[in-house]
Structure 1
């Protein structure tokens, strides 16, 4: 039984969101980032809609948001997904509910393609995205370094069946 709710991510949630982001960074399997930004930088780099938190007992346990993939107008309906879950909450369906709501809100705002770049070893994230309709579209070998380690990523996408058809 679910004990959490999905609601809009507000600036007042930032410290808890940032803490969850930092726990993802610490795994070395979530992002090339090595530290979480401050609110203003994060806020400016994400789309103004489809910013979500999962909340249980007044505590943020996960978050999801979208970033533009390009500032070129032809890519205006394409966004990159970020989804992070608190370590103790992983595997409990929080990520799936966040992504389902993110899809709904993205479509309501004209997004026709969602994409996710996932470290190749992060099979849990790949399975999560696949569970909500993402498909594998590519593999990028040694696309970037995290510290001194070259990382491979997979590219997954979900094309809307409602927008841009």
Structure 2
């Protein structure tokens, strides 16, 4: 598969939202139940480090960062969100875009990335481990899905070897 990774643009939102919805529909990618508006989504994510994987005009997946705190001491710590379109999962797109996100985050002074992954999402856990993240803990029954089922999250972290050392 031949594709490139580029910066996400606001006009990508419609396709990004569709891929996000596919993740929601799995029941193990997010606790989000509905797609937010672009404005709402945009407010919650950093303006830097927003990537999409594209094959021509087709967006295959996306990855972005969210701040973990408004306190200045945590300016180099961010939470990863990564979603791959259903048709492109298991083809290396996730590894390539997450690796690119790591590189771009380090170029922007981010020294620590973390993810809170629903325990049943074994493919995302494996992807993160494959990209240098380590498991740092489990949050038991941290959130309840709209269907009433409680889920644990696996906390994963990647500390930069080039930024903040």
TM-score range, shorter chain: over 0.9
The Cα shift of 1:36 comes to 1.2
State the partner residue of 1:139: 138
Partner SS for 2:65? strand
Kindly state the Cα deviation for residue 50 of structure 1 after the two structures are TM-superposed: 0.8
Indicate the SS of the match to 1:15. Answer: helix
SS in 2 for 1:137: strand
Partner-residue secondary structure (3-state), 1:151: strand
Q: Deviations over 1:82-133 (max 9, x none)?
A: 0000001000000111101100110111100000000111110000001110
CA distance in 2, matches of 1:62, 1:154: 22
Query: Between Structure 1 and Structure 2, how many residues are aligned?
Result: 164
Q: Report the 3-state secondary structure (helix = DSSP H, G, I; strand = E; otherwise coil) of the residue aligned with 1:12.
A: helix
- 3-state SS of paired residue (1:80): strand
- Structure 2 residue 161 is the aligned partner of structure 1 residue 161: yes
Counterparts of 1:1-165 in structure 2, within 5 Å, are 2-147=1-146, 148-165=148-165
SS where residue 16 of structure 1 aligns? Answer: helix
1:42 deviates by: 1.1
Describe the SS at the equivalent of 1:110. coil
CA distance in 2 between counterparts of 1:137 and 1:36 reads 29
After TM superposition, give the deviation of residue 57 of structure 1 in Å: 3.1
**Whole-angstrom CA distance in 2 between matches of 1:73 and 1:24:** 32
Relative to the length of structure 2, the TM-score reads 0.98
Equivalent-residue separation in structure 2 for 1:56 and 1:146 (angstroms): 33
Q: Report the Cα distance in structure 1 between the residues aligned to 2:77 and 2:40, rounded to whole angstroms.
A: 21
Rounded Cα–Cα distance in structure 1 between residues aligned with 2:158 and 2:79: 10
Structure 1 position 56, deviation (Å): 1.0
Runs of 4+ with deviation above 2 angstroms: none
Structure 1: gaps (5+ residues) = none
Distance 1:36 1:67 in 2: 16
SS of the residue aligned with 2:155? strand
Per the normalisation by structure 1, the TM-score is 0.98
